Amino acid sequence: MRIPPILRLKLLWVALIIFIFLLGSIAYGFFTAPKANPYTPAGQYAASPYAVPSWASIFYGNLPPDIKVPNDYDLIAAKTASVINYWHLSNFTFNGDAVIIIYNSSYGPKGETNFQKTLYSYGNTGNGSVEIIIEGTNPLNLTLYHDFLYNYLLPRETKFGDYEFYIIQASISAYATNAYYTFNGYVINPSNATFWLFLAGNYLPTNLVTLSTVFKYLGNGGWNYILASSASAGETPWFYTSNIPPNESAVASVIMLQSMFNSTGNYKVEFTINYIPNGPNSKLVVYLSDLYFEFLGSRYGVLGTDNNGASVFAEYSQGGIFDLELAILAGLAIVFIGAVFGLFAGYYGGKLDQILTSFTDFILLLPGLAILIVLITIFQQIFTVFPKDILIIIVLVILSWPPTSRTIRGQVLQVRNMAFVEAAKALGMSNMEIIRKHVLRHVFPIIIAQLIFDIPAVIGIESALDFLGIGILKFPTWGNMLGFSINASLDAPGFAWWWILTPGIALFLLGVSLFYIGEAITRYYGSLVGETH
């Protein structure tokens, strides 16, 4: 089998391998990285801020990964009866009170208040809950608990504070008859120190009035979502019971995490129901789901996290997809306009060539980036209903087609004087037929090469706009990844090299690979213009 000469170019194969590697990494990220927008709360805190890539932990020691209790969705969402054993529950009678534990497969969280779907929270999970029935006239404490092992480096304390943190959550629906109750969350460390993380219920004891700002009232019926984290220690009961000096209250979350995770060993997550009867026939029915604790670690995934704990790999893949889509759309428009101008100017010549060439040169002489910035700024104010990405494409196309037009015009000037064009004219073919059947056919490879050249050029310009803060900012692009990472790098451990280098290397490799692919096509087919091949 005869191999086309263009495929014998080693540099072309190197460029193709680099380009395929980039596309493959973007596709892999699309299927494996979180789908939520990393620039919104829903896509943040896949791990702690500035978590290093998992493979890079060899340079940093035994950094902790994300620790999830439970680590199975069916247990979190109470989709399986084994959730009862997981939290060490069983029926019992104590001091005259009867406690009955039931797995309820037909009742679960619906329409929860204060729930927002994020990478680390679970809620609105539908049917499935642990049903707890308590009856009796004596106070009773019921504890749900599960142990986990922490055998990693302790949380990092730096002048910028802690990067790791935890979250604890629950969904609860309760019905109380002649009874009060409170629902609490705790973590107990290997030194048996207890950290009180949230407080809810239908009753706040008078000796706890100082906790009224963190107490969440739960009425009869309905589902309520509860979330607490060390990211905001002032919103937990621990803050008010830990005797923190006023001058240290601003760093309470750091103190809490350092105090909690002060050693390796077995930790315990606890949810406690305090049952307080208030007369005869007292009864409390509690439904629990979405019981979950997570320690957000400082190593995560393929490319770590940014300053908001969002997956850098998700930003890379989403940004790459957006950049390529925008560049292909803009590139096609640029090539189409440039090809039309170049074909007509080169084929017809004369005054039409002078007019089209003069207009092309005028656009070409404009200071592109400066005009681009001005036009985008103006258009954003005038066309407020237009998405910014559409405005960027329009302005890019307006300013970027002239080089393509000049290149194609030069090729057409060569083709129009060749013998097969003269023969077509002699046979009575119209100019449009000659352009469509002969001229366009012979310059089409050059048009493809120009498209390949235009794609990295468009991505480079769009990335520069994003880097400067006047382009796309609400969802990831490689340009704004660079801008955000450089701005935040001074506060980051190790300057967050995994965040900065990723888009920079991607832009470099994309530009180099597509340049040499386009260059190979241009050199090969440019030398064959006018020949049959």
In a domain, 371, yes or no: yes
AA identity, residue 259: S
Evaluate whether 38 touches 315 at the Cβ level (below 8 Å): yes
Q: Are strands 67-69 and 215-217 parallel, antiparallel or unpaired?
A: unpaired
13, 110: one domain: no
Low-confidence ranges of the chain (pLDDT < 50): 159-162, 529-533
72, 196: one domain: yes
Going by C-alpha positions, the residue among 118, 116, 115, 122 that lies closest to residue 34 is 118
Q: Residue 23's pLDDT is what?
A: 94
Q: Exposure pattern of 106-128 as b/e (b: 16+ CB <10 Å)?
A: ebbbeebeebeebbbbbbbbeeb
428, 350: one domain: yes
Element spanning 231, H or E:
none
236, 289: one domain: yes
Q: Residue 3's pLDDT is what?
A: 59
248, 290: one domain: yes
In a domain, 48, yes or no: no
- Token reading at 94: 């104590």
Going by C-alpha positions, the residue among 170, 419, 411 that lies closest to residue 293 is 170
Out of 296, 318, 333, a domain closes at: 296
- Token reading at 447: 């048009």
Specify which residues 182 forms β-bridges with. 201, 274
In a domain, 243, yes or no: yes
- Token reading at 210: 């100082």
Whole-angstrom Cα distance, residue 474 to residue 319? 11
In a domain, 418, yes or no: yes
Going by C-alpha positions, the residue among 362, 364, 339 that lies closest to residue 450 is 339
Cβ atoms < 10 Å from Cβ of 71: 12
The beta strands (E) that lie in 279-335 are given as: 283-296
Q: Report cis status (omega within 30 of 0) of the bond before 70.
A: yes
Q: Residue 384's pLDDT is what?
A: 63
Specify which residues 272 forms β-bridges with. 143, 184
In a domain, 302, yes or no: no
272, 317: one domain: no
Q: Residue 289's pLDDT is what?
A: 95
Q: At what angle do helices 497-526 and 312-348 cross, to 10 degrees?
A: 20
332, 288: one domain: no
CATH code of residue 256: 2.60.120.260
Out of 242, 266, 296, a domain closes at: 296
Whole-angstrom Cα distance, residue 92 to residue 259? 35
Whole-angstrom Cα distance, residue 454 to residue 402? 12
Q: Exposure pattern of 259-282 as b/e (b: 16+ CB <10 Å)?
A: ebbeebeebbbbbebbbbbeeeeb
| Phi, psi for 205 (deg, rounded to 5) | -55, 145
In a domain, 220, yes or no: yes
Range(s) of the domain holding residue 521: 5-30+310-531
Element spanning 346, H or E:
helix 312-348
Q: Total domain count for the chain?
A: 2
Q: Residue 206's pLDDT is what?
A: 80
Out of 263, 296, 329, a domain closes at: 296
In a domain, 47, yes or no: no
Q: Residue 503's pLDDT is what?
A: 93
In a domain, 94, yes or no: yes
DSSP for residue 179? E
Q: Are strands 194-201 and 215-217 parallel, antiparallel or unpaired?
A: parallel
Whole-angstrom Cα distance, residue 530 to residue 533? 9
Whole-angstrom Cα distance, residue 406 to residue 33? 42
Cβ atoms < 10 Å from Cβ of 202: 17
Q: Are strands 97-104 and 92-94 parallel, antiparallel or unpaired?
A: antiparallel
String of DSSP letters for 99-110: EEEEEESS----
Q: Are strands 161-162 and 92-94 parallel, antiparallel or unpaired?
A: unpaired
- In residues, how long is the chain? 533
Q: Is 177 exposed, middle or buried (0-12, 13-18, 19+ CB in 10 A)?
A: middle
371, 240: one domain: no
Q: Mean pLDDT over all residues of the chain?
A: 86
Cβ atoms < 10 Å from Cβ of 102: 16
Going by C-alpha positions, the residue among 502, 513, 505 that lies closest to residue 33 is 502
CATH code of residue 363: 1.10.3720.10
- Token reading at 352: 């039409």
Whole-angstrom Cα distance, residue 191 to residue 313? 37
19, 109: one domain: no
339, 480: one domain: yes
356, 283: one domain: no
The rounded Cα 350 to chain-centroid distance in angstroms is: 54
25, 94: one domain: no
